Amino acid sequence: MAQGIWIVAEQREGELRKISYELVSEGRRLADQLGQPLTALLLGSNIKEKASDLGKYGADKVIVADDERLATYTTDAYAAVIAELAQAHEPAIILLGASVQGKDLSGRLAAKLGAGVAQDCVEFSIDNGSLVAKRPIYAGKAYATVTYKDSVPQIATARPNVLELNEPDESRSAEVVDASFSLDDSQLKTKVVELQQEAGGKIDLTEAERIVSGGRGMKGPENYNILEELADLIEATVGASRSAVDAGWRPHSDQVGQTGKVVSPNLYIACGISGAIQHLAGMSTSKVIVAINKDPEAPIFQKADYGVVGDLFDVVPALTEQIRKLT
Amino acid sequence: MNCIVCLKQVPDTETQIKIAQDGMSVVTDNIKWVMNPYDEYAVEEALRLREKFGGEVTVVGVGPKRVTESIRTALAMGADKGILVDDPSAAGSDSLGIARILAAVIKDLDYQLILCGKQGVDDDYGVVGSVLAELLGIPQISVVVKLEVSEDGATIKAHREVEGGTLVIESPLPALVTAQKGLNEPRYASLPGIMKAKKKPLDVKTVADLGLDAAQVGEGGAKIKVLKLSPPAEREAGKMVDGETPEEKAANLAKLLREEAKVI
């Protein structure tokens, strides 16, 4: 019978990504509820030394698949290796990150294993031995609580920045084992040609702790520098509303909302954003929301923890100045 | 170069979502149904490839009769033909079930490229494309913002959005890509296009026509079961920050963020 919880750790260029620790932390809680072991899968090249970190966050065992062809994520290689390992070990649950990588991998893996997958979940529990997952639908305008039927394993992806991180326990260590797998070159059809990093190496909106976002009230692309100044000071990433993106002021990768990114930072500062429903859907799980807007009737104020009625061109630079004084 | 576009019909993004009495579904009265926004990019990209390489664009949808309207929209944009799988036994399918139906439609077609939207903006799963690619045994590249097809039409190079950057991936054809906003600017259907679309072929099929067992699709074949739907947690009304001048308001806000919210 299928047993145990697996999490698929995520690395880029040999460094574990934060979602990996979030997955181990959640996996630990679920494993304790089930009374079953927690195993982390780590795929990469020369990656074994990272295994001990996963142990400190709660993994009982780390299975390391070390191969040059796994250095950079490709759907073909990762799905083939994880499916082979899952068939050999039969875990009951596999959790992945709802990152770009995890969302690409989950469906492929589910299809290979004939299993169900719940994508982009924000809450997990165990009921009667089965995984129960809560996930936003309509970009967060509603939530669906789902479970699995005749699904071995039960696959789910977890939204980054939502699950609680465990404190690493330096005294904990995981058993580290080498994976045995057969990866045939004929299975590898796609090839990564290059990774173009964004200038400045800024943190992606989906992973950002803080976001400063600008909408139609910014009046033009040239004014985003006042948001960037504030963002630099508080280590935030700059986002935008759909109207700002559709106007061509900001790249589409900056868009927050139903047809953009769904974000959950600790702090979301909305500047000159009225709060269209499709925007609110994408950011209303932020922990603290600040709205700065001229229009006291703007719907964004209904969602904001702190509202400032005023001209963002006065308030934002003043806020930057005040925060600079505090630090 | 023959392209297939998988199309879903969803509520318009401006729709207020209300949960039905049963707690298991959303109220669909007065919903404005539209083509899934990400599928528009998929249709547009397929049309551009046809303009460059020739061939045909076939649009495939699964769902009730109303989905015909969205397929007609794609035909009015310029797609050549449509196929709709309209069968009550398909209702309640999960991603796996929908992908099985699409795979059954597509497997016998002559194609080089399949395009899907990166996710439906209703259920937000984003899984059907990759399951479909696996069922058909072809490579996938998801969340694509730029697509280049080699002159000989044998390989593609796709730019996919990842956290903090863009990955460039090469793949042989046939392959499946999922479209992200930014891939292109979808065209509007022209009036002559709308007139022409009415005469374009649109086949309606059932699950049995596809040789699929009804038990493999619909609620019966689903591996994911919805237990309930719930509204998002209401955010408590926040406070308006006082101050006579912008500077005062900013000072008070900075203080609240530091001392009360503890986020800076």
Per domain, the residue ranges of chain B are 3-221, 234-264
In this prediction, residue A77 carries a pLDDT of: 97
Find out whether A154 and A94 touch, Cβ atoms under 8 Å: yes
Residue A194 located in a structural domain:
no
In this prediction, residue A200 carries a pLDDT of: 64
- pLDDT, mean of residues B146-169: 95
Distance CA A235, CA A266 (A): 12
In this prediction, residue B235 carries a pLDDT of: 82
Element (H, E) at A307: strand A306-309
In this prediction, residue B234 carries a pLDDT of: 84
Please report where in the chains the tokens 């891939």 appear, as a residue: B183
Query: Hey, is A15 helix, strand or coil?
Result: strand
Distance CA A31, CA A280 (A): 34
Find out whether A310 and A220 touch, Cβ atoms under 8 Å: no
In this prediction, residue A251 carries a pLDDT of: 92
Question: Same domain, yes or no, for A289 and A161?
Answer: no
β-strand pairing of B155-162 with B140-149? antiparallel
Question: Same domain, yes or no, for A215 and A115?
Answer: no
Question: Same domain, yes or no, for A161 and A95?
Answer: yes
Distance CA A74, CA A172 (A): 31
Last residue of a domain, one of A187, A212, A243: A187
A112 contacts in chain B (CB < 8 Å): 134
Q: Tell me how far CA of residue B126 lies from CA of A195, A254, A293, B122, B235, in angstroms.
A: 23, 20, 34, 10, 28
Counting the structural domains of chain A, the total is: 2
A234 contacts in chain B (CB < 8 Å): 264
Mutation target among A125, A128, A152, A253 for the B interface, most CBs of B within 10 A: A253
Question: Same domain, yes or no, for A133 and A12?
Answer: yes
Question: Same domain, yes or no, for A95 and A234?
Answer: no
Question: Same domain, yes or no, for A169 and A247?
Answer: no
Question: Same domain, yes or no, for A291 and A149?
Answer: no
Domain of A286, in residue numbers: 199-326
pLDDT band for position A85 (cuts 50, 70, 90)? very high
CB-based contact A198 B240, cutoff 8 Å: no
pLDDT band for position A7 (cuts 50, 70, 90)? very high
Nearest Cα residue in chain B from A277? B14
Last residue of a domain, one of A187, A221, A252: A187
Last residue of a domain, one of A129, A155, A187: A187
In this prediction, residue A198 carries a pLDDT of: 76
In DSSP notation, chain B reads --EEEEE-EEE-TTPPP-B-TTSSSB--TT--EEE-HHHHHHHHHHHHHHHHH---EEEEEESSTTHHHHHHHHHHHT--EEEEE--GGGTT--HHHHHHHHHHHHTTS--SEEEEES--TTT----HHHHHHHHHT--EEEEEEEEEE-TTSSEEEEEEEETTEEEEEEEESSEEEEE-TTS--PPPPPHHHHHHHTTS-EEEE-TGGGT--GGGSHHHH-SEEEEEEEPPPPPPP-EEPP-SSHHHHHHHHHHIIIIIS---
Residue A80 located in a structural domain:
yes
B146 contacts in chain A (CB < 8 Å): none
In this prediction, residue B236 carries a pLDDT of: 77
pLDDT at A199 over 70: no
% residues pLDDT > 70 (chain A): 99
What is the CATH number for A247?
Answer: 3.40.50.1220
Nearest Cα residue in chain B from A197? B165
- pLDDT, mean of residues A106-130: 97
pLDDT at A201 over 80: no
Question: Same domain, yes or no, for A219 and A141?
Answer: no
pLDDT at B256 over 80: yes
pLDDT band for position B233 (cuts 50, 70, 90)? confident
Question: Same domain, yes or no, for A177 and A218?
Answer: no
Strand partners, A157: A96
Question: Same domain, yes or no, for A13 and A125?
Answer: yes
Q: In angstroms, what separates the C-alpha of B182 from chain A's closest C-alpha? A: 6
% residues pLDDT > 90 (chain B): 95
pLDDT band for position A78 (cuts 50, 70, 90)? very high
Q: A259 vs A61, which has greater pLDDT? A: A61
Question: Same domain, yes or no, for A173 and A217?
Answer: no
End-to-end CA distance of chain A: 56
pLDDT band for position A271 (cuts 50, 70, 90)? very high
Residue A192 located in a structural domain:
no
% residues pLDDT > 90 (chain A): 94
Question: Same domain, yes or no, for A162 and A247?
Answer: no
- pLDDT, mean of residues B103-129: 97
Q: How many CB pairs under 8 A join A and B?
A: 277
pLDDT at A67 over 70: yes
CB-based contact B168 A196, cutoff 8 Å: yes
CB-based contact B122 A137, cutoff 8 Å: yes
**What ipTM describes this predicted complex?**
0.95
What is the CATH number for A67?
Answer: 3.40.50.620
Element (H, E) at A241: none
CATH of B3-221, one of 1.10.460.10, 3.90.1150.10, 3.40.50.2300, 3.40.50.620: 3.40.50.620
